[in-house]
A = this chain, B = another copy of it.
Amino acid sequence: MPPRLRPTKAHVARPTIAADLTEEIDVSFLRSQVGYNARRAALHIIGVFMGRMQEYELKVVEFSVLSLLAHNPGLTSRHVCATLSIMPPNLVGLVASLEKRGLLERRPHPSDGRAMGLHLTPAGLALAQESEQAVAQLEIDATAKLSASERKTLIRLLQKVYD
């Protein structure tokens, strides 16, 4: 082992406490857990998402609803809630907001008087398609350290966790 330089005031720039000791902190236990890593990775990607999707004025869940309806016209609120694990009361305001923006319409369900079918307007469908393109690109960028093959493996393993 080579002799270390003496850590005198002359040598080091007197780092403040938190200097770069961050890297020396032992996070090995947390990093050995799937939950911790999945949460960190999700928050990382969501951070990139929020930055780029401001252009479309879409938050994460709003985008999910829009994309889901683009591929499944006429879904009811209950379907959307069950598919995306949203609590019904929390979907109400979200749908109202999208409706107010002219992106979707609530039509009475043909055979069930209680239900409302959710349909994207032409503007909503256009936004869904545009924003899906943006999300696909943003995801590639936010996970740039992954090869296409690794990305595919990662998705498969994540689905195995929650499916």
Number of interface residues, chain A, beta carbon within 8 A: 65
A85 to B22: give the CA distance in the assembly, Å: 12
Copies, count: 2
Query: Secondary structure of the A side of the interface?
Result: helix
Is A28 interfacial (CB 8 A cutoff)? yes
Is A8 interfacial (CB 8 A cutoff)? no
Contact between chains at A27 and B68 (CB < 8 Å)? yes
For A35, the chain B residues whose CB sits under 8 A away are 42, 45-46, 49, 60, 135, 139, 142
Contact between chains at B26 and A72 (CB < 8 Å)? yes
Q: Which of A71-127 contact B (CB under 8 A)?
A: 71-72, 75-76, 78-79, 82-83, 85, 109, 111-112, 115
